[in-house]
C-alpha cells in the first residue's frame, strides 16, 4: 500500500512540474523578446516602459500620435525628440559614433534616409501584421521600415497676390515670380532633399529648373513650416511645400490654395522604423503596429495627412494617391547621390 501511495505522489509531482515547464515556455515565446513571430511580438507589448521617439513631424502632430498611443498603453512613457530630418539623422549618427544610439523609434521624411540607416545596420527587421493593408511599394523589402502616410509636394499660392492660378511647376522659374518664391532647404528638410533628387533626375526639369528658380532670387527657409507662413502672410506668392501644410493653412482661413502641378509631384511617405539596439522591442513594435493600424491611419487623416493604408480616406483638401501623377527616381540613385545633390544645391544658391 505504501508503495502505491509513493508512486502516486511522485506521479502528481512530475505532472505538476511538467505543467509549470510548459507554462514558462509559452510565456517566453509570447514575450516578444525574439524576432520570431513578428505579429505576436508586436501585439503583446509590455504594459509599462519608456521609449525614445525621434521624428521630423511637427511637434503638435507627434504629440497627438503619442497621446493616441497612450490611450491604449497608458503606462508607456514616450519621449519625443523633434527636428528636421537632416538634423535628426545627424544626431543619430553622432550617437552611433559615440557608441550607443538613444532612439528606439524613428519616423522621418523619406525612404532614402532609411536606406542610409539600413546600410549601417542601424535598423531592426520587423514586418508589422498591419502591412497587409499597406501598398507593397511602401514597405521595405527587407522589413526595416514602412511608410506611414502620403505626402506630396506641390505649390502653395497666395490667392490675394495672383489673378490666375498656375497649373505648372514652370511658374516658380517665370518672370512673374521674381522675388516671390519661397522654398525649404534640402540641407535641413528631408522632404526638400528628396524633391531635389527626384526633380533634378527628371528629364523635364534637371538642374536647369533650379537654376531658373535661383534667377528669381527665392527665399530659402530651413523647413516647410516657414514656407507656408510666408505664403499665408502674403510676403511671398508661391511656395514649394508639402501638401498638408497648404491644406491646413487654407482650412484655417488663410488666402492659400494648393496646386498639384500637371507634370506630377514628388511623394514622400514619412516611414517609421525601429532602431536595432532598442531595449524596448515589444513596446516599439506595438507603436509601429498602432501607427499602421486602421485606428492609427484614421488619426493621420484627422490630423490632416493623406493616409497610406488602403480603405482610409484622405482628409478634405488633399488628393489621394490615385488622383495625381507621381514624379519618381530610382531610390538607389537618390541614396547614393544625396550628399552630392545637397552640396550642388548649396553651391548654386550661395552664389
Same domain (yes/no): 129, 207: no
Does 125 reside within a domain? yes
DSSP strand E in the chain: where?
A: 48-55, 75-82, 105-107, 149-158, 181-184, 219-221, 238-242, 256-259, 265-268, 272-274, 306-307, 326-327
Same domain (yes/no): 160, 84: no
What pLDDT does 8 receive? 39
Does 194 reside within a domain? yes
What residues contact 300, with CB distance under 8 A and at least 6 apart? 148, 149, 306, 307, 308, 312
Report the alpha-carbon distance of residue 305 to residue 98 in Å, rounded: 36
Report the alpha-carbon distance of residue 127 to residue 134 in Å, rounded: 11
Global pTM? 0.81
Same domain (yes/no): 179, 305: no
Cell numbers found for residue 117: 540607416
Same domain (yes/no): 242, 285: no
User: Phi-psi category of 37—alpha, beta or left, where left has phi over 0 and alpha has psi -120 to 50?
Assistant: left
Same domain (yes/no): 204, 129: no
Give me the tens of pLDDT residue by residue for the chain, a chain 351 residues long.
433 333 434 443 333 444 444 433 333 333 333 333 343 444 444 568 999 999 999 999 999 999 999 999 999 999 999 998 999 999 999 999 999 999 999 999 999 999 999 999 999 999 999 999 999 999 999 999 999 999 999 999 999 999 999 999 999 999 999 999 999 999 999 999 999 999 999 999 999 999 999 999 999 999 999 999 999 999 999 999 999 999 999 999 999 999 999 999 999 999 999 999 999 999 999 999 999 999 999 999 999 999 999 999 999 999 999 999 999 999 999 999 999 999 999 999 997
Same domain (yes/no): 332, 201: yes
Does 341 reside within a domain? yes
CB atoms within 10 A of CB 169: 24
CB of 112 closer than 8 Å to CB of 335: yes
Same domain (yes/no): 252, 205: yes
The range of the structural domain enclosing residue 124 comes to 40-148+269-319
Same domain (yes/no): 59, 81: yes
Q: How many CA atoms lie within 13 A of 12 on its CB side?
A: 6
DSSP string, 206-250: HHHHHHHHHTT--EEESSHHHHHHHHHTTS-SEEEEEHHHHHHHH
Does 81 reside within a domain? yes
Same domain (yes/no): 241, 335: yes
Does 23 reside within a domain? no
Same domain (yes/no): 219, 311: no
Does 25 reside within a domain? no
What pLDDT does 116 receive? 94
Report the alpha-carbon distance of residue 109 to residue 297 in Å, rounded: 17
Number of structural domains, the chain? 2
Same domain (yes/no): 239, 295: no
Does 137 reside within a domain? yes
What pLDDT does 270 receive? 96
What pLDDT does 48 receive? 85
Bridge partners of 227, per DSSP, are none
CATH of the domain at 125: 3.40.190.10
Does 250 reside within a domain? yes
Same domain (yes/no): 228, 264: yes
Amino acid at each position: 500500500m505504501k508503495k502505491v501511495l509513493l508512486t502516486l505522489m511522485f506521479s502528481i509531482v512530475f505532472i505538476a512540474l511538467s505543467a509549470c515547464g510548459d507554462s514558462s515556455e509559452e510565456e517566453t515565446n509570447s514575450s516578444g523578446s525574439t524576432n520570431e513571430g513578428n505579429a505576436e511580438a508586436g501585439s503583446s507589448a509590455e504594459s509599462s516602459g519608456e521609449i525614445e521617439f525621434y521624428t521630423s513631424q511637427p511637434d503638435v502632430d507627434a504629440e497627438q500620435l503619442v497621446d493616441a498611443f497612450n490611450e491604449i498603453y497608458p503606462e508607456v512613457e514616450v519621449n519625443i525628440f523633434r527636428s528636421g530630418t537632416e538634423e535628426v539623422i545627424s544626431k543619430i549618427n553622432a550617437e552611433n559614433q559615440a557608441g550607443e544610439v538613444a532612439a528606439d523609434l524613428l519616423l522621418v521624411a523619406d525612404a532614402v534616409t532609411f536606406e542610409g540607416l539600413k546600410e549601417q545596420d542601424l535598423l531592426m527587421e520587423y514586418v508589422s501584421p498591419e502591412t497587409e493593408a499597406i501598398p507593397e511599394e511602401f514597405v521595405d523589402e527587407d522589413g526595416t521600415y514602412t511608410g506611414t502616410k502620403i505626402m506630396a509636394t506641390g505649390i502653395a499660392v497666395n490667392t490675394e497676390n495672383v489673378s490666375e492660378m498656375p497649373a505648372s511647376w514652370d511658374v516658380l522659374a517665370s518672370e512673374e515670380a521674381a522675388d516671390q518664391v519661397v522654398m525649404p532647404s534640402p540641407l535641413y528638410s528631408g522632404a526638400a532633399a528628396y524633391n531635389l533628387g527626384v526633380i533634378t533626375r527628371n528629364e523635364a526639369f534637371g538642374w536647369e529648373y533650379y537654376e531658373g528658380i535661383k534667377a528669381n532670387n527665392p527665399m530659402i527657409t530651413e523647413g516647410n513650416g516657414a514656407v507656408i507662413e510666408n505664403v499665408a502672410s502674403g510676403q511671398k506668392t508661391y511656395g514649394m511645400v508639402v501638401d498638408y501644410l497648404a491644406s491646413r493653412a487654407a482650412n484655417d482661413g488663410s488666402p492659400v490654395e494648393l496646386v498639384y502641378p500637371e507634370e506630377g509631384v514628388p511623394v514622400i511617405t514619412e516611414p517609421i522604423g525601429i532602431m536595432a539596439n532598442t531595449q524596448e522591442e515589444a513596446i516599439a513594435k506595438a507603436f509601429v503596429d498602432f501607427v499602421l493600424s486602421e485606428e492609427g491611419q484614421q488619426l493621420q487623416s484627422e490630423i490632416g495627412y493623406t493616409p497610406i493604408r488602403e480603405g482610409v480616406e484622405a482628409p478634405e483638401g488633399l488628393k489621394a494617391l490615385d488622383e495625381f501623377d507621381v514624379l519618381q527616381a530610382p531610390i538607389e540613385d537618390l541614396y547614393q547621390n544625396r550628399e552630392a545633390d545637397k552640396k550642388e544645391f548649396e553651391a548654386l544658391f550661395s552664389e
